[in-house]
Chain A
Amino acid sequence: MSATSNLRLALWAGSETSAIVTALRRIPDVTLTAIVACDGSSTNGIDTWRSQGVAVQTPDDLLRTPTTPFDALLIADEQAEVASLHRAVDQGKHLLLVTPGEWPVAELEELRSLGEKRGARILVCEPSRHRPSVQAVREAVMSGKLGTIGLMRLHDWSHAHMGQAASVWEALRANIDLACWLFGEIPESLYCVSSQSLEDEATVGPVGPLQIQLGFRAGGMAILDCYRSLPSAEDYFSLSVLGSTGATYADDHHNRQLLLGSAGARGVTTGEGVLPMVSRLRNLLDACAGRVAALTTWEDLRRSAIVLAGARLSSESSAAVRLAHPEDHYVLA
């Protein structure tokens, strides 16, 4: 594949398949040639795709007896088997992950090493970085208009998404990535607590509330809290950053409309539509083609994994932890 040629894409379907297909229509130089469907529930409208000439196959069909040509495999299923991913990379296929999911970083690193030998690129996307609201916050921070960043405050609440395996810990990791991205460094100390009882976690899974407090070297601080068991289908996200000369507030609370219905008044969110997914795919595909740098680097992934491990150590020991030397783990403070 050259940098300017059309990219043939196979999509391993998952919970975001519908948004991905919608977003792909806006991206030039990409042809969807196959959809990998492990289970019919995640590929609504298969017949529609078949009628458009898109092959619908199982992983084995695609990778063992390749009859459908493709250059890159876009992974939207966080349960995708690592063995299948290895097989794809071994065949020289680029691997594009729309989210890091809960794959261990070490396994992804193995894929990357294999990809280097086979001429395949392995690229991973942190979804939160592509939200228009988050990008506006990041732009404000990077512009220098806010001065030195002193505080980041984030609330991330959602219901338990059907078919989505991500736990509150994965949500925490993703938000830790945001904090590190905005501060440009790994925190030197942290403290993590949960108010979910062990009994409750055994029953409903790890949903939180879970919160973490981060301290950065230059005096900056962050508090993030995550919850994955809201009763309604609407999520809530709020991100504030306070700098020495200004502040920015991205808050779903500000972006609620008022619906006066028969059941009374309620707030409804004006969402960000398909734009976050367009941004994610565009960056993955452009980076795959060598046109731009990937927004999420391997160092980013390693960093958030290290902090998450520190968070688990803190939570389990009910104590603050600090970054050790070398800076690849945390120890009790």
Chain B
Amino acid sequence: MAQTQGSYYLPNPSHWPIVGSIGLFSMVFGAANWLHGQSFGPIIFGVGALIMAYMLFGWFGKVIGENQAGLYNKQVDRSFRWGMGWFIFSEVVFFGAFFAALFYARISVLPWLSGTWDLGQMTHYLLWPNFQEAWPLIHNPDPNQFAAPKHVMGAWGLATINTLILLVSGLTITWAHWGLYKNNRKQLVMGLFLTVALGVIFLCFQAYEYIHAYEHMGLKLSSGIYGTTFFMLTGFHGMHVTIGTIMLITILIRSIKGHFTPTNHFAFEGVAWYWHFVDVVWLFLYIFVYWL
């Protein structure tokens, strides 16, 4: 139940949302035209991205300033917490859509196309009678349209190292959190720094893996459903790790500047939740994309 302690902070009119709308609109408008081969597409997209970056700096800067000025009571803090929590929930659902595509392809589509499930026998017979299901799929139903990969991505090399890196980063951020509770700024900054470093190493390994997949394994986004689900799932995860790392760098800088107290550090916790979410998504990826 809501308990009011002092009045709830109501912000005055703000220009940041409309700046964000203009930025996002420019980004998607530019991207669509870019896809259609218009030369102005990438320019508008880039301008939009810059406007978005400006908006994020300005908007978060404003919120941080208001918080430092002590304008937020406990109730405002709770609003932020609920907001962040349900935002992460919506991100989980977004990944759910891509996992659903993976499971649907493996459990339903491939058996249907290969005729091993009686429901798909006619499809199999009429479309690609030679197709046989397998996972990872290295013989696509129509190899002329979708060239299959030469090799599949193993689970026991880089992927395992990356799993360990993310698991350790989950520990370092918790260690930083303990430091914050004890008001031990050195431990806080050190823990955050290690977490950022681990995030960056993860991203470097991931980039190396992608280059290796494209150049030496023939595994591409266009390699049929295996390459499709591999790159889209790990790609969106990598994008979220990138966002998470930027968020971590932000709170690292804020920690160095002396922000956060043992009782008032929602931004830290929000980022930590986000980082754990990225971590858990990776575990699912490791199991269902790399391993099984």
Asked if chains A and B come from one complex, the reply is no
